[in-house]
Amino acid sequence: MNVNLTATVNGGVRPRAVIIGMPGAGKTRIGKEASGMLDLPFADSDIEIEHEAGMRIPQYFEEHSERAFRELECRVIGDLIDSFGGVLALGGGAPMFEATHRLLERYIEDGGEVIYLEADPREAMERARRAGGRPMLAGDSDRRWMELFEQRDPVFAALATSRVATHGFTPAGAARKLVDMINEHKVHVDGKGIEPYDVTIGEGAMNHLADVLGSKPVRVALIHTTPVQRHSDRARTLLRQAGYEVSDIVIPDAERGKTIEVANGIWQRLGEEGFTRSDAVVGLGGGAATDLAGFVAATWMRGIRYVNCPTSLLAMVDASTGGKTGINTPQGKNLVGSFYTPAGVLADLKTLGSLPNDIFIEGLGEVAKSGFIKDQAILSILEAHADELRGFDGASFGSGPSDSGAGSSGDLEDIVAQLIERTVMVKAYHVSADLREAGLREFLNYGHTLGHAIEKLEHFRWRHGNAVAVGMVYAAELAHLVGYIDQDLVDYHRALLSSLGLPTSWNGGSFEDVLALMHRDKKARGNTLRFVVLKGIGQPVHLDDPPADAVEEAFRRISR
């Protein structure tokens, strides 16, 4: 993703990222390479300090004192945080000075990224020796470096919003990892009854897997489907490198994996392999896989830690986020489940490169839904980029910007990242206020009442996002028939969804069969049908027990 953005705070410019790390970690070289990839300016606080002081740092130490240097360093860094819009690398000891530490904490509170560049100690010590001119390493530089590392590493790790390990990477490779980290989007989810967690969106987001799982688990059940084998191989490697014992559990693809029989087989594996309450589950794959993994985690020993690694657009914007877990029964979809939030969600954009076009397109149904119920900017992005989105090609997605400029893979990746972030923010808004779907969260089911019925009658051959697209057109027709919206908004539903390659009609079953299934919908109350409809874009409302003729007529209009 090639992005040229500068962040602003309080009307001014702030750094896109601040890099911290030990002497010799490569902050300057790697930071310069990364800023070049991002087409952003680069600044090194040590160089800026020398310009300000009119002398080299060792001379300043000698003529003044370390305290005087740290005070000058703090002033220079404060000015840069308030006015510099690129990538900023700090001197090794800067975060240890209390006033500078507070500056960085405030920068993070305003949405800034502080990235801890973690180098192999032997490599860093060698680079520090070669560079020289480091007053904090005077004397036995290696011994002094290790002493400083023992003091600084816990502080840096606690302060940083992200960490990038550079061992084994060339400077260009480490810079690429840094760029991926800088380009990440994070959505924080919290609220009543929710253990706060982050949804991390970006290339390489899966690299955070061990950080999110933490040190407590010994065993990790990696639940995935066969089509995502390449991504599960990567996750397994990351987990084993972090020291976890990994149980590889392959489940059937799509809705065939969301059954009590599959869940029971996993429970048996966990029991046989000695999984305890302190162990964990990782769900990797599409929405069905993450739904099942969350359900297993919620029910094993009444709840163990789990992380979702969605690999489809639909799973990234819907199933993996929000804490709804579940399985299907012969009577309907998601009728058995639990509200149980993950420790984190890692939406790695690299995994989208393995998606077929039709599987990517169906995810746009849930994206559009979030635009209709809350965020009109989503609809504007979908309108403006419908052709590129409809023409999605996984083979070129994520391959970086091409020479053609507009319309390049890098451009599309940025568009998709924006859509995922905005859609997850809509979901987070509803989930934070209503985890257990007692009111506000039901608005996330726009289009789902008919959509779930279609899925059931089609024996789940229809993809969820496609069924929801038809369900939204149905809800729009129903809202128009009862006088909530005008015909233009109904037509807009059809036009936008069609432009994205999504279906807007269905004739695979009778109205009587559909009506019976809609009465089993989770929003239904007793014998009363309950729909989510719109009074306008961004204005969802509940429609209880609408006239029977309107319910049937709306169905007739989407069955043409």
Q: What is the pLDDT of residues 392-401, one digit of tens each?
A: 999 888 654 4
- 255 vs 262: CA distance, rounded Å: 11
Alpha-carbon separation of residue 314 from 28, 75, 364, 419, 494 (angstroms): 39, 47, 7, 12, 20
| Ramachandran class of 454: left when φ > 0, alpha when ψ lies in -120 to 50, beta otherwise | alpha
- pLDDT for residue 557: 97
- DSSP assignment letter at 206: G
H helices present in 253-375, as ranges: 260-272, 287-299, 313-314, 357-373
- 50 vs 56: CA distance, rounded Å: 5
What's the CA angle centered on 419, arms 39 and 476, to 5 degrees? 155
Dihedral of the alpha carbons of 344, 347, 348, 354, in degrees to the nearest 10: 130
For the chain, domain boundaries: 17-183, 186-434, 446-559
- pLDDT for residue 538: 95
The verdict on whether residue 289 carries a ligand-binding annotation is yes
DSSP 3-state of 76: helix
- pLDDT for residue 510: 94
- pLDDT for residue 526: 58
The verdict on whether residue 28 carries a ligand-binding annotation is yes
What is the CATH architecture of 446-559? Up-down Bundle (1.20)
The verdict on whether residue 75 carries a ligand-binding annotation is no
- 299 vs 344: CA distance, rounded Å: 18
Task: Give Cα 39 to chain centroid, integer Å.
Answer: 24
H helices present in 352-440, as ranges: 357-373, 376-384, 386-390, 409-433
The verdict on whether residue 394 carries a ligand-binding annotation is no
The verdict on whether residue 26 carries a ligand-binding annotation is yes
The verdict on whether residue 152 carries a ligand-binding annotation is yes
Q: Give me the tens of pLDDT residue by residue for the chain, a chain 560 residues long.
A: 333 333 433 445 799 999 999 888 889 999 999 999 999 999 999 999 999 999 998 888 889 988 999 999 999 999 999 999 999 999 989 999 999 999 999 999 888 999 999 888 888 777 766 665 566 566 567 787 888 889 999 999 999 988 888 887 888 999 988 998 888 888 888 877 778 889 999 988 998 999 899 889 999 999 999 889 999 999 999 999 889 999 999 999 888 888 999 999 999 999 999 999 999 999 999 888 999 999 999 999 999 999 999 999 999 998 667 677 888 888 777 778 888 889 999 999 999 999 999 999 999 999 999 999 999 999 999 999 999 999 999 988 865 443 333 344 458 988 999 999 999 999 888 887 755 655 677 899 999 999 999 999 998 899 999 999 999 999 999 999 999 999 999 999 999 999 999 999 999 999 999 999 998 876 665 578 999 999 999 999 999 999 999 999 999 999 97
Find residue 249's DSSP bridge partners: 223
Find residue 7's DSSP bridge partners: 14
The verdict on whether residue 291 carries a ligand-binding annotation is yes
Q: Are 476 and 511 in contact (CB under 8 A)?
A: no
Q: Are 423 and 370 in contact (CB under 8 A)?
A: yes
The verdict on whether residue 324 carries a ligand-binding annotation is yes
- 511 vs 521: CA distance, rounded Å: 15
- pLDDT for residue 162: 85
- 120 vs 167: CA distance, rounded Å: 5
Is the domain covering 186-434 a CATH 3.40.50.300 domain? Answer: no
- pLDDT for residue 250: 94
The verdict on whether residue 461 carries a ligand-binding annotation is no
- 105 vs 344: CA distance, rounded Å: 22
- pLDDT for residue 48: 95
The verdict on whether residue 188 carries a ligand-binding annotation is no
- pLDDT for residue 24: 83
Task: Give Cα 387 to chain centroid, integer Å.
Answer: 24
- pLDDT for residue 82: 93
Q: Are 444 and 428 in contact (CB under 8 A)?
A: no
The verdict on whether residue 256 carries a ligand-binding annotation is yes
The verdict on whether residue 523 carries a ligand-binding annotation is no
Block residue for tokens 């009363």: 528
Give the tokens for residue 376. 């009109």
- 25 vs 29: CA distance, rounded Å: 9
- 555 vs 473: CA distance, rounded Å: 10
The closest alpha carbon to 445, from 457, 458, 433, 430, belongs to: 430
The verdict on whether residue 448 carries a ligand-binding annotation is yes
The verdict on whether residue 464 carries a ligand-binding annotation is yes
The verdict on whether residue 92 carries a ligand-binding annotation is yes
Give the DSSP H or E segment for 349: none
The verdict on whether residue 258 carries a ligand-binding annotation is yes
The verdict on whether residue 130 carries a ligand-binding annotation is no
The verdict on whether residue 311 carries a ligand-binding annotation is yes
The verdict on whether residue 253 carries a ligand-binding annotation is yes
The verdict on whether residue 453 carries a ligand-binding annotation is no
- 285 vs 129: CA distance, rounded Å: 46
Sign of CA dihedral 408, 410, 416, 421: negative
The verdict on whether residue 535 carries a ligand-binding annotation is no
- pLDDT for residue 519: 87
CATH of span 17-183: 3.40.50.300
The verdict on whether residue 290 carries a ligand-binding annotation is yes
The verdict on whether residue 288 carries a ligand-binding annotation is yes
Would you say the CATH fold of 186-434 matches that of 17-183? yes
